[in-house]
Structure 1
Amino acid sequence: MRTRGTRRRTTTAVALAGCAVLALTGTGPAHATPSGRDVLPARDGWASADGGTTGGARADAAHTYTVTTWDQLRSALADDPGAPRIIKVRGILDATAAGCAAFEADGYDFDRYLADYDPAVWGRDRPVSGEQEDLRAASQRNQAAAVKAYVPADTTLVGLGAHAGITGGSLQIENTDNVIVRNLTVESPLDCFPQWDPTDGATGAWNSEYDSMAVTGSTHVWLDHNTFTDGAHPDSSLPSYYGELYQRHDGELDIVRGADLVTASWNVFTDHDKTLMIGNSDSAGATDRGKLRVTLHHNLFRDVTERAPRVRFGKVDAYNNHYVVGAGTAYAYSFGIGMESRLVAEKNAVTLPPGTGAGRILKKWKEAPVTAEGNRVNGRPADLIALHNAEFPDQQLTSGAGWTPTLRTRVDDPRAVPGLVGHRAGAGRLR
């Protein structure tokens, strides 16, 4: 990871903070055309700590790009390593326009794969192996090489207008520093070659690759006014094989493997199963302890099944978010309390359908304390920990995360959160 001067970045942040504050306070015009030079305001979540997050605000004209295709985006990301850059996205960039057949390894045959690994033939007590599994894996590697785009340090990636985004692609913010991504609609990439694992659970499962966006080992990342969605391919549109959903989606956003100092604000996460994971493994303490500091504020989580977020190790501040669960959503939980996590969930609003117990909003995976204060469920004050402990007496949660967030620019009354977030969160709503 490139080490960057804290003093220089702080000076830049102060010089440019005015336009960023304007963008977030609503004093500017709706649907403003973003310049790409907005920076994260001071004290706006964990990404504002230790020098702040300025992205590509210092980019010169030679490193300011407007892209209209996936290949152009990848070229702009790779051009002139080390230079600050602003990349403006116009329209929808399709990473898989050529279709799945373009990635197939010679000899791969899905019908043959289904026949070879049918549980009636293969069983359920050992992982799949053999020619077709090897060819599936090779095909998946071909797709990965085509659909992953790596975002370098000192970069701002921003959508132009209300209809800019990416479909089929996976943005990788990996082992870098100082990145801003704003105003993009990111449709979850479809894995063309999911793997069948007969040993996953009691009946086996299909597992896929490619998060919409992954922050891995990176610091100072601001994700703002984006929309994460399954778009035209929700899970309900996918077939089943061997009696299990042919799952072609992975996560919408992962923040993992020592990532740190991240602020996700005014985003929409919608129509997805495993949505947002902070910390990917219980065994990653050596990498993750003292890191995974993430702020989530003024985000809308609509009709998502779980992981909004699921937290391991990190100090996560989640406030003023709105969680909306529709009557047809296969809802599991919102906040996952995992290994050594220190989650603070305050002044959020949750809207649940009739018959869904509010005790399910929190989910205990491991013994870890949590602060949950000032939240409201269906418009009424709710003690989320007490509700959980009453509904799940064998999974008691302990109150008190042991730290108090201080990096907050505004905290709204949770009664105002549904209207505020509903009108202002997501791509196309920069002001």
Structure 2
Amino acid sequence: MSDMFRPRRRTVLAALSAGVLAAGGLAVATPSPALAYENSPVGFASLNGGTTGGSASTAVTVTTAAALKSALSSSTSQTVRVSGLISISGMYNVASNKTVIGVGSGSGITGGGLNLNSVRNVIIRNLVFRNANDDSINVQEGSTNIWIDHNDLSNGYDGLIDIKRGSDYITVSWNRLHNHDKSMLLGHSDDNASQDTGKLRVTYVHNWFEGTGQRHPRVRFANPVHVLNNYYSNIGSYGVASTENAGVYVERNYFENVANPTVTQTGDSDSGNIKVLNNYKVNSGTEQVRNGASVAAIPYSYTPEANNTVKATVTAGAGTGKI
């Protein structure tokens, strides 16, 4: 399982139209151009036994809300292939050992979102999320080994990708977030230290935050959190926030038109700790930092991308239709 963060250029060969590639890969009928992706998660989701998702040999394709809800909640280890933009209401629960993947570049969910509650080993890839009436993706109650990769998320009511309540070993990679304010929450409440301290370890890598407002992410308690090689463009309030004594390592990101790339306090929360290294800034302000031992070491090996190439890499590779 890869722990290398430098994007790899692969040519996806033709596959059977009803088949899937390994570990939640997308079925394709014709060769595609070489694009940046990983076929297994990097960062925290690669630890703790790894994240493989549902069985590729047990795959079901869904086109309706009823079929989607049934497949997601099934106890069977399987790959759920979402075909078309399916309108749902509320949050649909996702069971353990699932890969949920969109077919093509425009398939996904509108009107609602996905809830991962006390589950393990889930992959969510290549899905469009639009107009959720709550969170687009909500990970909570000790869920572990989750990989959220190559999705396109916008216009939700609350968070686009929220992770909370003691969840752990998660990677959020190659997603495009736009037309939204509060993007990614990590830790939901200042009063939840007993459940969250020592947990909420998340890697955010190669995501594109495009004209969003805040929470990219907004962190409580977690230490360390790794924010690496993301592209921030035209951000309204702030980029990354660390609060409630969290430890966040903000490394080699590309900030363009971001007045406050990092902040160490927001809202009513107590302050947190931020360590920065070699971020690339264009028309952007100075990072707020708290360097030192309060930000724990990253526990996996990796090879970061050079900061000045992040914009081109992420804009070419983030979002749907790229795997």
Q: Tell me if TM exceeds 0.5.
A: yes
TM-score w.r.t. structure 2 length? 0.85
Quick check: 2:60–2:81 contact (8 Å CA) kept in 1?
yes
What CA distance in whole angstroms lies between the structure 1 residues aligned with 2:174 and 2:291? 27
Aligned residue runs from structure 1 range 384-403, under 5 A: 387-388=286-287, 397-400=289-292, 401-403=294-296
Quote the residue 1:367 is aligned against.
271
Pairing 1:299–2:210 present: no
2:126 aligns with one of 160, 183, 192:
183
Quick check: 1:36–1:86 contact (8 Å CA) kept in 2?
no
Q: Given residue 334 of structure 1, which amino acid in structure 2 is its aligned partner?
A: G
What CA distance in whole angstroms lies between the structure 2 residues aligned with 1:324 and 1:306? 12
Pairing 1:35–2:20 present: yes
TM-score w.r.t. structure 1 length? 0.65
Quote the residue 2:150 is aligned against.
225
What CA distance in whole angstroms lies between the structure 1 residues aligned with 2:207 and 2:103? 21
Q: Given residue 332 of structure 1, which amino acid in structure 2 is its aligned partner?
A: S
Quote the residue 2:70 is aligned against.
75
Quote the residue 1:193 is aligned against.
none
2:9 aligns with one of 26, 31, 34:
26
Quote the residue 1:428 is aligned against.
321
Quote the residue 2:280 is aligned against.
376
Quote the residue 1:49 is aligned against.
47
Q: Relative to 1, partners in 2 of residues 1:250 and 1:220: Cα closer, same or farther, differing over 3 Å?
A: same
Quote the residue 2:90 is aligned against.
147
Indicate the SS of the match to 1:411. Answer: coil
2:252 aligns with one of 332, 347, 363:
347
| Structure having the larger proportion of residues in strand | 2
Q: Relative to 1, partners in 2 of residues 1:30 and 1:43: Cα closer, same or farther, differing over 3 Å?
A: closer
Q: Given residue 47 of structure 2, which amino acid in structure 1 is its aligned partner?
A: A
Cα deviation for residue 69 of structure 1 reads 1.3
Say which one has the larger Rg: 1
Quote the residue 1:243 is aligned against.
none
Q: Relative to 1, partners in 2 of residues 1:41 and 1:29: Cα closer, same or farther, differing over 3 Å?
A: closer
Q: Given residue 29 of structure 1, which amino acid in structure 2 is its aligned partner?
A: V
Q: Given residue 87 of structure 1, which amino acid in structure 2 is its aligned partner?
A: V
% same residue: 31
Quick check: 2:248–2:295 contact (8 Å CA) kept in 1?
no
Quick check: 2:201–2:225 contact (8 Å CA) kept in 1?
yes
Q: Given residue 92 of structure 1, which amino acid in structure 2 is its aligned partner?
A: L
Quick check: 2:243–2:273 contact (8 Å CA) kept in 1?
no
Quick check: 1:347–1:373 contact (8 Å CA) kept in 2?
yes
What CA distance in whole angstroms lies between the structure 1 residues aligned with 2:47 and 2:192? 24
Quote the residue 2:35 is aligned against.
none
What CA distance in whole angstroms lies between the structure 2 residues aligned with 1:259 and 1:181? 16
Pairing 1:418–2:308 present: no
Quote the residue 1:281 is aligned against.
189
Cα deviation for residue 164 of structure 1 reads 1.0
Cα deviation for residue 321 of structure 1 reads 0.1
Pairing 1:166–2:75 present: no
Cα deviation for residue 229 of structure 1 reads 1.1
Q: Given residue 277 of structure 1, which amino acid in structure 2 is its aligned partner?
A: L
| Runs (5+) with no aligned partner, structure 2 | 25-37
Quick check: 1:346–1:372 contact (8 Å CA) kept in 2?
yes
Cα deviation for residue 272 of structure 1 reads 0.7
Aligned residue runs from structure 1 range 238-277, under 5 A: 249-277=157-185
Indicate the SS of the match to 1:147. Answer: strand
Pairing 1:211–2:119 present: no
What CA distance in whole angstroms lies between the structure 2 residues aligned with 1:412 and 1:87? 32
Cα deviation for residue 406 of structure 1 reads 4.2
Q: How many residues align?
A: 299
RMSD of aligned residue pairs (Cα, Å): 2.5
What CA distance in whole angstroms lies between the structure 2 residues aligned with 1:59 and 1:424? 24
| Runs (5+) with no aligned partner, structure 1 | 1-13, 96-145, 191-209, 231-247, 390-396
Quote the residue 1:319 is aligned against.
228
Q: Relative to 1, partners in 2 of residues 1:166 and 1:297: Cα closer, same or farther, differing over 3 Å?
A: same
What CA distance in whole angstroms lies between the structure 1 residues aligned with 2:241 and 2:295? 17
Quote the residue 1:290 is aligned against.
198
Cα deviation for residue 409 of structure 1 reads 4.3
